[in-house]
Amino acid sequence: MTTNEPLLKVENLKQYFRINRKYTVKAVNGVSFEIYPGETYGLVGESGSGKTTIGRSIIRLYDPTAGKITFDGMDISGKMDKPTFQKLHCNMQMIFQDPMASLNPRKKVEQIIAQGIDINKMYSSPAQRKEMVVKMLEEVGLDPDHATRYPHQFSGGQRQRIGIARALIMNPKLVIADECISALDVSIQAQVVNLMKDIQDKTHCAYLFIAHDLSMVKYISDRIGVLHLGHMVETGSREEIFDNPIHPYTKSLLSAIPSPNPRMEKRRKYMTYDYYESGIDYEAGTEHNVGGTHMVLATDEEFEKWTK
Amino acid sequence: MAREKIMEVRDLSISFKTTSGILNAIRGVDMDLYRGETVAIVGESGSGKSVTAKAMMGILASNAIVNSGSVKFTYDNKGVSKTVDILKMKKSDIRREINGQHIAMVFQDPMTSLDPTMTIGKQITESMIWHYKTPKKEAEEKAIELLSLVGITEPEKRIKNYPHQLSGGMRQRVVIAIAMACDPDLLICDEPTTALDVTIQARILELIKDIQYKKNISVIYITHDLGVVAKVADYVDVMYAGKLVEKGTIDEIFYEPHHPYTWGLLSAMPDLDTRDERLYTIPGSPPNMMKPIPGDAFAPRNQYALNIDNRLDPPMFKLTDTHYAATWLLDERAPKFDMPPEIAARIARMKKEENHDDQ
């Protein structure tokens, strides 16, 4: 997998938001990672750690403050010319968190799904447009008759399927799934995750899967990055992160996963981690390689202490 | 120690009048709750979990019709034990005597359940001043005490803050502090951690458990997250389409489930060792509650359904003194069957994990 070129390469991405003259929120502060074609990269971290901001900076809903993003050989971090912009929007798509709020209530499902191909004129006749929409609906497990309905006539799980159909009709190479299952019921979550996996098998698209539910992230991701306060504290393959967590924040995050096993769960102790009391300074840390693709952010002394 | 029953729900049935007809949300629910214990109600959205809780608190929406049933609540009224039927009480009486004072609720979304125009101190003291006529000074002192109980640092300063100045986890702590203000006997938590992330979720759940232990109150959790249930509950009630389909102690539900719906719920959630390529899903979708449902509501989605499931609704079969399940599979005339292999494997794994943990 590592032999071929990365599809997306993020180097030292910074995203600041200036609130006023004195105060700037550093939402993302020097994050680097790579996504390879056809793989799923999971981003985890608590709220406020900058997961969503990274997703939105990559797809250029924000203008990154600093850093370089390379997607499919194109530099997409600075000012882009029109063809680059268009190529970016055709090849990178996003599934949003809240299926209730992310669909236009005044448009029919057909219009919502076809919007991307309408704008980019990806069909030659109205019949072909219809055919593409119907095919997409069937692929995500909805009925072709649903095309003439409005979003409010669907349940949460169905609406998330519409969101997925809208993203996938462009045949993207990378889909950014921003907490796309957090708002759904457990049994519906499983359906949506299965659907996303099936589609990946068929089209070999890559996913950037942003979530805070670690058991789901472990299930779907090939590689995982752990974020905290805008810093990537640890990254590596699924096995590396779950079997051998190094960073205390990752350890505390893993200890917080509720397990559906009552006898174990009642005895489990949650490991607390407080950045301000721990004495760890993310700014001072550099990336250390633990082995393979497993990287951890630490100073030299910290690294020695944690890996002992 | 004798268990003191504080809530007894019998044959509760509630419908809602909607523009497209009558919706039968709850179709006969029995439930008991004892002092100091925790019950978790699990089920999909639309299964009637929240409606049951709202009926217990007497805060049903105005288009609700109570068809039958009773909700008997026993509380201590100035040293005398008093039992009332909440469904028969006047709304103003419930407001004055029960809500906030004896039954309190923690709502799902801390972003919307606080008043943005009031300081949190005012919101916490409000119910004390209203119910107990506590002098303002004293109420404020208690509010500070409560804030430190729920783990908010520098409560003296925080009390003057507005909700928007706090983070999501802090706001949920404030909501819990408000609920605890009048020392309720029963705390109802409606998806208390759904809007929060895992690290804060663990802390909030431990906090509620801690308070429960200190004040000896009963807690009802409404959730669809079985990880949360595993952590906090003593008893579990599984709801489907407005009915209880299985109830039992936490060990009985997790290690010896008998209802096919419980099997589905348990296997839909990946545990950290799920290695299968696909997650198990319950096929189909919940029934339309507008129409009368002949037989077992779960039958169309149940691959173990028998012929009788389409005609007759199964009664609650008794397995042990605490464990009941409503499925015809438990009838003595039903064909012999085995638990699906996935779920059996999973339970074996959970038991193994536990033994492993003991060593």
Q: Is the pLDDT of residue A202 over 80?
A: yes
**Residue A194 C-alpha, separation from nearest chain B C-alpha, in angstroms:** 6
Question: Does residue B253 fall inside a structural domain?
Answer: yes
What does the block give as tokens for A89? 């929007």
Same domain, B116 and B252: no
CATH, residue B10: 3.40.50.300
Reported as a single tens digit per residue, the pLDDT across B258-276 is 898 988 888 877 766 656 5
Show residues of chain B in contact with A194, CB under 8 Å. 278-279, 281
The reported pLDDT for the residue numbered B357 is 53
Q: What is the mean pLDDT of residues A139-167?
A: 87
Give DSSP secondary structure letters for B339-355. Answer: --HHHHHHHHHHHHHHH
Do residues B205 and B317 share a domain? no
| A215 with B266: Cβ contact below 8 A | no
**B241 inside domain:** no
A2: left (phi over 0), alpha (psi -120 to 50) or beta: alpha
Could you state, in order of their start, the residue ranges of all structural domains in chain A?
Answer: 8-307
Q: Which of B45, B251, B272 has its CB closest to that of A262?
A: B251
pLDDT value of residue B272: 61
Q: Which of B198, B251, B354 sits opposite A256 (nearest CB)?
A: B198
Report the amino acid identity of residue B135: P
Question: What Å distances lie between residue B338 and B248, B304, B330, CA to CA?
Answer: 20, 10, 11
Q: What integer is the mean pLDDT of B242-264?
A: 90
State the pLDDT at residue B359: 44
Checking if the pLDDT of A50 tops 90, the result is: no
Q: By CB neighbour count within 10 A (0-12 exposed, 13-18 middle, 19+ buried), where does B64 fall? A: middle
Same domain? For B222 and B255 the reply is: no
- Residue B143 in any domain: the answer is yes
3-state SS assignment for residue B28: strand
Separation CA B203–CA B224 (nearest Å): 18
Instruction: Cite the DSSP H helix spans in A169-288.
Output: 186-203, 214-220, 238-243, 248-255, 262-267, 275-278
The token pair that represents A80 in the structure block: 């882009």
Contact yes or no for B182/B234 (Cβ under 8 A): no
The pLDDT of residue A219 is: 85
In a domain, B242, yes or no: no
**Structural domain includes residue B238:** no
Question: Which of the two residues, B274 and B60, has the higher pLDDT score?
Answer: B60
Q: How far is CA A57 from CA A28, A76, B176, B224, B251, in A?
A: 10, 10, 36, 33, 46
pLDDT at A1: 47
pLDDT tens digits for B23-59?
888 998 999 999 999 999 998 877 888 889 889 988 8
Same domain membership, residue B106 and residue B60: yes
Between CA B240 and CA B219 the distance in angstroms is 21
Question: In the sheet where A66-71 sits, what is the strand order?
Answer: A24-35, A8-18, A66-71, A74-75
Structural domains in chain B (count): 2
Say how many CB pairs under 8 Å bridge A and B. 122
Q: Which residues pair with B220 in a beta bridge?
A: B39, B188
SS3 of B151-214: the string is CCCCHHHHCCCCHHHCCHHHHHHHHHHHHHCCCCCEEEEECCCCCCCHHHHHHHHHHHHHHHHH
Q: Are residues B253 and B227 in the same domain?
A: no
- Residue B144: predicted pLDDT: 93
Place of tokens 């012999």: B336
b vs e for A78-91, b when ≥16 Cβ sit within 10 Å of the residue's Cβ?
eeeeeeeeebbbbb
pLDDT band at residue B73 under the 50/70/90 scheme? very high
Does B126 share its domain with B100? yes
CB contact set of B178 (below 8 Å; sequence gap of 6+): B104, B123, B124, B127
Instruction: List the domain range (segments joined by +) for residue B334.
Output: 248-358
| Res B154 pLDDT > 80 | yes
Q: What is the pLDDT at residue A3?
A: 55
- Check B271 against A214: CB less than 8 A apart: no
Tokens linked to B284: 């189909």
CB atoms within 10 A of CB B175: 27
Helices assigned H by DSSP within chain B: 49-57, 91-97, 120-132, 136-149, 155-158, 168-180, 198-215, 226-232, 250-255, 260-268, 341-358
Percent residues over pLDDT 70 in chain A: 99
Cβ-Cβ contacts under 8 Å, B224 against chain A: 185-186
* Helices and strands, number each (H, E), in chain A: 12, 12
Shared domain check, B185 and B254: no
**Is the Cβ pair A259, B354 closer than 8 Å?**
no
The verdict on residue B222 lying in a domain is: yes
Here the tokens at position B34 are: 């004892």
Residue B293: inside a domain = yes
Answer yes or no: is pLDDT of B235 > 70: yes
Residue A67, exposed/middle/buried by CB under 10 A (0-12, 13-18, 19+)?
A: middle
* CB contact at 8 A, A242 and A202: no
Contact across the interface for A155 and B230, Cβ inside 8 Å: no
Asked whether the beta carbons of residue B270 and residue A256 sit closer than 8 angstroms, the reply is no
Instruction: For residue range A259-295, list pLDDT tens digits in order.
Output: 777 777 777 777 777 777 777 888 888 888 887 788 8
**B88 in a structural domain:** yes
pLDDT reported for residue B336: 74
Of B260, B257, B205, nearest in space to B227 by CA: B205
8 Å CB contact of A187 and B281: yes
For chain B, what is the radius of gyration of the CA atoms?
A: 22
Closest to A218 in 3D by CA, of B212, B129, B269 = B269
Greatest mean pLDDT among A20-24, A75-79, A235-239, B343-347: A235-239
Contacts of A50 in chain B (CB under 8 A): none
ipTM confidence: 0.71
- Same domain for B267 and B190: no
* Site of tokens 């009642």: A266
pLDDT tens, residue by residue, B291-319: 888 888 888 888 888 888 888 888 889 98
Residue among A224, A169, A225, A223 at smallest CA distance from A199: A169
Cα atoms in the Cβ-side hemisphere of radius 13 Å centred on A298: 22
Among B172, B205, B233, the domain boundary falls at B233
For residues B210 and B339, state if they share a domain.
no
The three-class DSSP label of residue B11 is strand
Q: For all residues of chain B together, what is the average pLDDT?
A: 85
The crossing angle, in degrees rounded to 10, of helices B260-268 and B341-358 is: 60
Structure tokens at A44: 């985890």
Q: Specify the pLDDT at position A172.
A: 92
Instruction: State mean pLDDT over B330-356.
Output: 77
Residues B201 and B95 placed together within one structural domain of the fold? yes
**B92 plus B225 within the same structural domain:** yes
- Across the beta sheet with A286-291, what order do the strands follow? A92-95, A174-178, A206-210, A40-44, A223-228, A231-237, A294-298, A286-291
Cα A117 to Cα A191: distance, rounded to the nearest angstrom: 26
Comparing alpha-carbon positions, the chain B residue that sits nearest to A273 is B199
B16 CB neighbour count, 10 Å cutoff: 18
**pLDDT in the model for residue A166:** 92
pLDDT given at position A109? 93
Chain B contact set for A257 (CB, 8 A): 198, 227, 272
Report the gap between the CA of B236 and the closest CA in chain A (Å).
11
- The superfamily in CATH containing domain A8-307 is P-loop containing nucleotide triphosphate hydrolases (3.40.50.300)
CA distance A273 to B317: 47
pLDDT at B271: 66
